[in-house]
């Protein structure tokens, strides 16, 4: 897999976090759109990225997530990671329920980034 920049990696992380529970809630979609607007103030074609994510099998999500968490880690400051983790927490709570899968991936992200 080719290394992603921080913004693309963040998109992959959020899309997986919002999908691991088997449902992509409209509230989650709005937050992903907010992230895109903040990270890509210019028009960005993410169709290829979305295709990659959509073609993942559930058993591939964890390794894909770990890879992009590392890409984000490599290109970010501690402050950016702390901010992203808070945003990710908001995302998984957006539909007013946090599933075990969402919690597992959220904790995985914090562990990879060594955030307590």
CA–CA separation, 67 and 9 (whole Å) = 9
Alpha helices in 4-60 (DSSP H): 6-19, 26-39, 47-54
Query: What are 48-89's pLDDT values in tens digits?
Result: 999 999 999 999 999 999 999 999 999 999 999 999 999 999
Give the three-class secondary structure for 40: coil
Cα–Cα distance measured from residue 99 to residue 96, given in angstroms and rounded to the nearest whole number: 10
Quickly state the pLDDT bin for 38 (edges 50, 70, 90): very high
Complete domains list, the chain, with CATH: 6-112 (1.10.3680)
Average pLDDT, rounded, for the chain:
94
Give the rounded distance of the alpha carbon of 113 from its chain centre: 13
Residue 109 corresponds to which tokens in the numbers above?
């992200």
């Amino acid at each position: 897999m080719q290394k992603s920049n921080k913004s693309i990696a963040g998109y992959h992380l959020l899309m997986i976090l919002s999908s691991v529970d088997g449902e992509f809630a409209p509230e989650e979609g709005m937050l992903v759109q907010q992230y895109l607007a903040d990270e890509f103030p210019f028009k960005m074609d993410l169709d290829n990225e979305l295709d990659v994510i959509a073609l993942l099998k559930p058993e591939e999500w964890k390794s894909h997530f770990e890879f992009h968490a590392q890409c984000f880690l490599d290109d970010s400051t501690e402050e950016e990671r702390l901010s992203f983790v808070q945003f990710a927490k908001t995302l998984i709570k957006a539909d007013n329920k946090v599933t075990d899968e969402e919690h597992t991936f959220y904790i995985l992200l914090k562990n990879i980034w060594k955030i307590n």
